[in-house]
Amino acid sequence: LELAADLQRALIDQQFAIEYQPVVDLATSRVTAVEALVRWWRGSVFVPPEQFLGPAEDTGLIVPLGEWILREACREVAAWRAESWDIGLSLNLSARQITAPRFVETVEEALAESGLPASALTLEVIEEMLVEDAEETIKRLSELRALGVRLAIDDFGTGYASLAFLRQLPVDMIKIDPSFVSGLGKDDTLTLLTRTIVRLGHDLGLIVVAEGIERPEQLELLKQMGCTRGQGFLVARPMAARGVDSLMRTSLTV
Ligand code: G
Ligand code: G
Ligand code: MN
Ligand code: NA
């Protein structure tokens, strides 16, 4: 309860920040997108998202917080694109945000006011959201997709949804959970499962992103498997907007 009051104050006092983690084309190392990740500095103490996202959802504060992240990230990514840097934005969503009143309109407004094209925005959802409150969630996500916004299944392979949900909700991308990537080259079953997910995704015409790449061996195996996109500490860590600025300057001049 105390945390909830602090969260509300933190929103008013603008204690939240966004870090961006690059997603790259594994063959060329070109940055294709950045994933926005919320950060809370409570005074000088960093509070991990795992600690405050649950309470933010329970109290409903995730709705105004998520709206701030959406508008801010759209604005920043649109500014990078205005410098001729062709990158997209990936945003994580909570179930509560999607079913909140005016969610679709809010996304439309954020796109309109920032000038970010709908096709440059990818909304990441996890499989569970397509099980609980599935009908309303799928309806709204489908409306956004009809506007040109892309959809991704985050933490793919760990959820409870059956593969049939890929028919109910047209998605554009799957992001392979780090628990698979971590076993690459070390665990035969995880290596086989990763290879199978990459093939499944591509056979369905989806973009496949491997998450949590930390070791060169994982990167090598993913490339051999034909996985075209990746994310992880080996590739690039989440960074403040200033860090993305520098990355853009190096990317555009080489
Ligand atoms: O950035 P980090 O790895 O600490 O993120 C931890 C978790 O918080 C991840 O599951 C991530 O999806 C989630 N997360 C990060 N930023 C956001 C956000 O802006 N909105 C929502 N709903 N979840 C987020
Ligand atoms: O659930 P989601 O995929 O949105 O989680 C994103 C979180 O994963 C971010 O908090 C980010 O800091 C973290 N992350 C990104 N790359 C790596 C990595 O290579 N290793 C680990 N351990 N965490 C990572
Ligand atoms: Mn994510
Ligand atoms: Na993930």
pLDDT tens per residue, range 71-101: 999 999 999 999 999 999 999 999 999 999 9
| DSSP string computed for 150-217 | EEEEEEETSSS--TTHHHHS--SEEEE-HHHHTTTTT-HHHHHHHHHHHHHHHHTT-EEEE----SHH
Q: Look at residue 251 and tell me whether its pLDDT is greater than 90.
A: no
**CATH ID of 2-253, from 3.20.20.450, 3.40.50.620, 3.30.930.10, 3.40.50.2000:** 3.20.20.450
ipTM over 0.85: yes
Q: Which tokens hold the place of 50?
A: 């795992």
**CB 218 less than 6 A from any atom of ligand 2:** no
**CB 93 less than 6 A from any atom of ligand 1:** yes
pLDDT in tens, 189-224: 999 999 999 999 999 999 999 999 999 999 999 999
Q: Which tokens hold the place of 29?
A: 């190392």
Assign 20 a pLDDT band (cuts: 50, 70, 90).
very high
- Single pTM value for the model: 0.97
Domain extent listing, the chain: 2-253
CB neighbour burial string for 96-109, b if at least 16 within 10 angstroms, e if fewer: bbbbbeebbebbbe
Query: From CA 195, how far away is CA 252, in angstroms rounded?
Result: 33
**CB 92 less than 6 A from any atom of ligand 2:** yes
216 CA → ligand 4 middle, Å:
19
